[in-house]
Structure 1
Amino acid sequence: MKAVIQRVSQASVTINEKIVASINSGLLVLLGVVDDDAQEDITWLSNKIVNMRIFPDVEGVMNNSIIDNHGDVILVSQFTLHANTKKGNRPSYIKAAKPDVAIPLYQDFIKRIESDLGKPIQTGEFGADMQVTLINDGPVTIIIDTKNKD
C-alpha cells in the first residue's frame, strides 16, 4: 500500500458536481493498493497515519497527531500512486490491484482507520472520476509505502 498524506486546513471531494466529502482541519489521504497487500499492511499503515506527529502543538512544533488534534480524515482511492514511469511517456499501472482485490482492501482500510481514529471518516468513491480540492496546511505532505517499512 502506498499513501500520500496531506495535512489540510480544508479539503473536499466532488463527484458529478456533488460534494461527497468535506472537512476542515485534518488529513487528506490518497491510497493506492497493489495485489500483494494484506491485512498487516492495513494495520501498519493505519496505525502510522493516525499516530504520525505532523500537527503543531501549542509551541508550534509538529508534535501532535490527528488523534491529538481531533481532526477529520478524507480517504480517496488512487491507483495512479503505483504508476511506473520508467519507460516512455505513458505511465503503466500494471502494479495497481484490480478492483476485485483493491475494493475489499480499501473497505477494510476504511474500517481500520475509523477504529484507530475512534470516529468515522469521509471517503471518495472507489473508481469514480473525482475532483479533489484542498488547502495544504504547512505545506505538509508525507508519502508512505508499506513495502518500505523496515
Structure 2
Amino acid sequence: MRAVVQVVTEASVTVDGESGPVGSILGPGLCVLVGVTHQDTPEQARALARKLWSVRLLDGEKSCSDLGAPLLVISQFTLYGDARKGRRPTWSAAAPGEVAEPLVDAVVAELRALGATVATGRFGADMKVSLVNDGPMTLLLEV
C-alpha cells in the first residue's frame, strides 16, 4: 500500500458535483491519498493506519494521536500509475475496485478503532479535493 500524506490546516472533498463536501476536516491534521496494489493485504491496511496515526509530522514533532488531529482519507488508484514509457500512463499495478475498496475501508476502520476522527471521500467517484498544505509538508509512505 502507498499513501501520500499532507499536513493540512484544512481539507475537504466533494463528489460528483454534490453541493457541499462529503468529507472535511479542520486541522492541524492529515490529508491522505491511499493507493492499493494487487498484493496488498488487510494486515498492510492495519499497519498503514497505525503509521498514519502515530507518524510525527505535526507541529512540535507531534502525531495525530498526540493531538487528536483529524484525517481525511481518499482512495487514489493513480498512486500506482506508471509513466516511464511513452506518454500515456498505465494503471496495471493498481488493484481493481473489488480488491482496493475493502482495503481502503480497512485503513479507515483501523484509524477509527485507534480513536481517530476520519473523514472520507467516496470510492470510485469523481472527487474534487481542496486543501491547505501546511509547511508545505508532504510525505510518501509505503507499507
Fold shared by both chains (TM-score > 0.5): yes
Q: How far, CA to CA, are the matches of 1:20 and 1:43 in structure 2? A: 24
1:19-30 → structure 2 map (5 Å cutoff): 19-25=21-27, 26-30=29-33
Q: How far, CA to CA, are the matches of 1:70 and 1:120 in structure 2? A: 8
Kindly indicate whether the alpha-carbon contact (under 8 Å) linking 2:69 and 2:116 is maintained by their aligned counterparts in 1.
Answer: no
Q: Secondary structure at the match of 1:56?
A: coil
Q: How far, CA to CA, are the matches of 2:64 and 2:108 in structure 1? A: 16
Report whether the alignment pairs 1:138 with 2:141: no
Q: How far, CA to CA, are the matches of 1:2 and 1:114 in structure 2? A: 19
Q: Normalising by structure 2, what TM-score?
A: 0.93
Q: CA deviation at 1:113?
A: 1.4
Q: 1:126 is matched with which residue?
A: 123
Q: How far, CA to CA, are the matches of 1:64 and 1:120 in structure 2? A: 16
1:1-150 → structure 2 map (5 Å cutoff): 1-15=1-15, 16-18=17-19, 19-25=21-27, 26-57=29-60, 63-116=61-114, 118-146=115-143
AA aligned opposite 2:8? V
AA aligned opposite 1:54? L
| Structure 2 spans left out of the alignment, 5+ residues | none
Q: Secondary structure at the match of 1:24?
A: strand
Structure 1 vs Structure 2 CA RMSD: 1.1
Count how many residue pairs are aligned between Structure 1 and Structure 2: 140
Which segment is superposed worse, 79-88 or 101-110? 101-110
Q: Secondary structure at the match of 1:111?
A: helix
| Structure 1 spans left out of the alignment, 5+ residues | 58-62
